Amino acid sequence: MTTETLRWGETLTLDADVLIIGGGSAGSVAAIKAKEATPGATVLVLEKANVRRSGAISMGMDGLNNAIIPGHATPEQYVKEITTANDGIVYQPGVMAYAERSFAMIQELDSWGVKFQKTETGDFDVKKVHHQGTYVLPMPEGYDLKKILTRVMRRVGVKVTNRVMATRLLTRDGRVIGAMGLHTRNGAFVIIRAKAVILCCGAAGRLGLPASGYLYGTYENPTNAGDGYSMAYHAGAELSGIECFQINPLIKDYNGPACAYVTGPFGGHTVNAKGHRFIASDYWSGQMMMEFYNELQTENGPVYLKLNHLAEEQILEIERVLHGTERPSRGRFHEGRGLDYRNGMVEMHISEIGLCSGHSASGVWINERGETTVPGLYAAGDMASVPHNYLLGAMTYGKICAENATVYINTVSDSALDAAQIDAERERVYRPTKQPGGLPHHQVEYKIRRFVNDYLQPPKTTTRLKLALRQFERAHDDLNAIGADNPHDLMRAMEAHFIRDCAEMAARASLTRTESRWGLYHYRVDYPEMDNENWFVHLQLKKDARGAMTFSKRPVAPYSVPLDKDEMLADHRRRLPVAAEAR
């Protein structure tokens, strides 16, 4: 398909001091900071696509949702708000580490040329959208974010290898010593030796099947197939909160975000079919999505984004932002449907499920230094367990991981690679090439994801979760029967493996937590109440020595920012008078 010479089965070996897997927002910043900290070291970014436009923020971001800027919000306020939004299950030191460094990260990005909205006198133009704190910093010119990050990487001397997808981490004596993968254009097997690895692979964004049935019409960048979740799992790292799914509000069918944080400051509303605002929850959370879901079941559904009460000047500005940054094609979607913000409302829906700590809370467990439970392995961004950390959290943790990884590399020397691991992975990766007439990857993927929808989409039930597990077990045979005759399809085959792993993790974690929490994200019909006595814990998931998926409870660390009882029962527990029109 390309002019690239095929190097099927050949081995490419690379060496790095710090290996960053994933060159999105988290990975790019991690790489820059790692190289700045250790200019003499080899800092290598392994990117499955091309860093210029890779990752969730391929076309930039139209705003920061969780900027903590002095004068507008405090870290303590923020930590409280996240703790409440996540029903108390947070590792506060991890959230605080982000909160305290959030502003410095913004200032550094600003110095690199990332464009934030500013007032007429050059201050950050922070907007209040949330009820408590003021955290929204618009970025109407955020479309060149990746161009800027890529430029800085080049200028500081970061090495970038594009079009290589990592498939498994390499370990020795309980530490991570590198990775293995596939060159997605020439088919070579790639081995990377590294003293430290920072995983920045993004969300499990290709887990649920979108309502449209189009495999790539996902909320997240579909390239983010849960690679990092799966690789960390197989390396023996602990994951956390996998039962806390990501379910987002989006534009129906288009499947992109409705961008209430952008339209909110202009006065846009999320309303029901009668045109009235109905969301009681003050924070974008599982509780908010539960209310959204409930509204859809009533005669007041569907839900809409309403802009037709705004002035022409405001609508023009919204169009300029939303049709230029993050998901610019939404303008042509609306045009195709004959929808104009001035005289119609944008129909919204709830997304397929995914795993993402950017918007929700599931990920590879990390502490406030970005360390996973496996020495030598760090994680940042949507795949690391810091709840609701979004774009700025991804970048800040990229920085935190880099700081710690560059210290760690001085404490270890090069390890000998494990030939058994390499041989096993080579066999696994190239198996589809031995049976080119095997099952097409897209059919196998479609089927797994359809079962995810059937059995994992909340409301969850025990019976359906168990049925899911049977299908995900069967899927091993299908994955082994996939055929591929070119590197691109081989990449997709390996992604199907990641997807299956994430599906099984999501099902088992959901079964294990026998309570409901986080609103819609983990709503179990057969355990409908929150059970703080037994379940006020993090649920950790890990691959044990025999290769089985096991669970443990990790106590919630004592709060450094205490909440009083009222704050724990805030927003959704508030007894609101019900309007005359309601059910």
Partner 1 sequence: MAQVSMKFDVPVIVDESKCIKGCHLCIDVCPLDALAINPETGKAFMARDECWYCTPCEVDCPADAVIVRIPYLLR
Partner 2 sequence: MNELDDDALSLDEALARLGDPDPAVRQLAAVSLGELCDPAALGPLIGALSDADPTVRRVAVGALEELGDPRAVGPLVAALGDASPAVRAAAKTALREFRTPESVPPLVAGLTHPDPEARAASVFALRERTDARTIEPLRAALGDADAGVRREVVTALGYLRERSAIADLTRATRDPDASVRRLALGALSFFGDAALLDVFVSALRDADWQVRQEAAIVLGRAADSAAASALIAALDDPYWQVVKEALLALGKIGGIGHAPVLPLLTHSYSEIRKVAATTLGTIGALDTVDALAALSQDEDIEVRKAASRALDDIALTGRTAR
Tell me if 154 contacts partner 1 by CB under 8 A: no
Q: Least Å distance between CB 121 and partner 2?
A: 4
* Cα(396)–Cα(394) distance, integer angstroms: 6
* Cα(226)–Cα(95) distance, integer angstroms: 23
Tell me if 1 contacts partner 2 by CB under 8 A: no
151 or 369: CB nearest partner 2: 151
Q: Which does 53 bind (CB under 5 to 8 A by kind): partner 2, partner 1, none?
A: partner 1
Tell me if 254 contacts partner 1 by CB under 8 A: yes
Site string for partner 1, 257-296 (x = CB under 8 A): ----------------------------------------
Tell me if 27 contacts partner 1 by CB under 8 A: no
* Cα(405)–Cα(42) distance, integer angstroms: 13
Tell me if 435 contacts partner 2 by CB under 8 A: no
C-alpha distances out from residue 377 to 20, 54, 168, 478, Å: 10, 22, 13, 31
Backbone angles phi, psi at 209, to 5 degrees: -95, 125
Q: Least Å distance between CB 334 and partner 1?
A: 10
Q: Which does 470 bind (CB under 5 to 8 A by kind): partner 1, partner 2, none?
A: none
* Cα(260)–Cα(282) distance, integer angstroms: 13
Which of these segments, 152-160, 322-330, 383-391, 495-503, binds partner 2 (CB under 8 A)?
A: 152-160
Laid out side by side, the sheet with 239-240 consists of 363-364, 239-240, 537-543, 549-555
Among residues 72, 130, 163, 431, which is the contact residue for partner 2, using CB under 8 A?
Answer: 163
C-alpha distances out from residue 179 to 22, 185, 253, Å: 12, 18, 37
Laid out side by side, the sheet with 269-271 consists of 249-251, 346-350, 303-306, 269-271
First-last CA distance in the chain: 57
Q: Which does 332 bind (CB under 5 to 8 A by kind): partner 1, partner 2, none?
A: partner 1
Q: Which does 114 bind (CB under 5 to 8 A by kind): partner 1, partner 2, none?
A: none
Query: By CB neighbour count within 10 A (0-12 exposed, 13-18 middle, 19+ buried), where does 238 fall?
Result: buried
Long-range contacts of 275-281 (CB under 8 A, 24+ apart): 275/304, 275/306, 275/345, 276/581, 280/571, 280/572, 280/574, 280/576, 281/519, 281/571, 281/572
Tokens representing residue 284 in the block: 């974008």
* Cα(216)–Cα(499) distance, integer angstroms: 13
254 or 455: CB nearest partner 1: 254
Tokens representing residue 577 in the block: 């008078």
Q: Least Å distance between CB 378 and partner 1?
A: 23
424 or 481: CB nearest partner 1: 481
The residues, any chain, with a CB within 8 Å of residue 28's CB and separated by 6 or more, are 45, 51, 146, 149, 150, 152, 153, 398
Tell me if 217 contacts partner 1 by CB under 8 A: yes
Site string for partner 1, 388-427 (x = CB under 8 A): ----------------------------------------
16 or 99: CB nearest partner 2: 16
221 or 421: CB nearest partner 1: 221
Query: By CB neighbour count within 10 A (0-12 exposed, 13-18 middle, 19+ buried), where does 403 fall?
Result: middle
Tell me if 117 contacts partner 2 by CB under 8 A: no
Among residues 1, 416, 548, 576, which is the contact residue for partner 2, using CB under 8 A?
Answer: 576
Long-range contacts of 74-79 (CB under 8 A, 24+ apart): 74/133, 75/99, 75/100, 75/102, 76/561, 77/132, 77/133, 78/102, 78/133, 78/135, 79/560, 79/561
The letter for the amino acid at 533 is E
* Cα(359)–Cα(390) distance, integer angstroms: 6
Residues 444-483 that bind partner 1 (CB under 8 A): 483
Site string for partner 2, 239-278 (x = CB under 8 A): ----------------------------x-x----x-xxx
Tokens representing residue 107 in the block: 């200032």
Among residues 83, 150, 230, 540, which is the contact residue for partner 2, using CB under 8 A?
Answer: 150
Tell me if 190 contacts partner 1 by CB under 8 A: no
With beta carbons less than 8 A apart as the criterion, state whether 488 and 1 touch. Answer: yes
* Cα(108)–Cα(185) distance, integer angstroms: 35
Handedness of CA 219, 329, 332, 310 (dihedral sign): positive
Among residues 74, 134, 162, 435, which is the contact residue for partner 2, using CB under 8 A?
Answer: 162
Tell me if 113 contacts partner 2 by CB under 8 A: yes
Residues 26-85 that bind partner 2 (CB under 8 A): 50-52
Among residues 13, 329, 463, 550, which is the contact residue for partner 1, using CB under 8 A?
Answer: 329
Q: Which does 223 bind (CB under 5 to 8 A by kind): partner 1, partner 2, none?
A: partner 1
Residues in contact with partner 1 by the rule CB under 8 A: 1-3, 49-50, 52-55, 58-59, 143, 162-163, 184-185, 212-218, 221-223, 253-255, 327-329, 332-333, 336-337, 437-440, 483, 488, 491-492
Kindly list the residues in this chain that would bind partner 2 in the complex (CB under 8 A): 2-5, 50-52, 113, 118-122, 144, 150-151, 154-155, 160, 162-163, 185, 267, 269, 274, 276-280, 309, 311, 313-314, 574, 576-577, 579-581
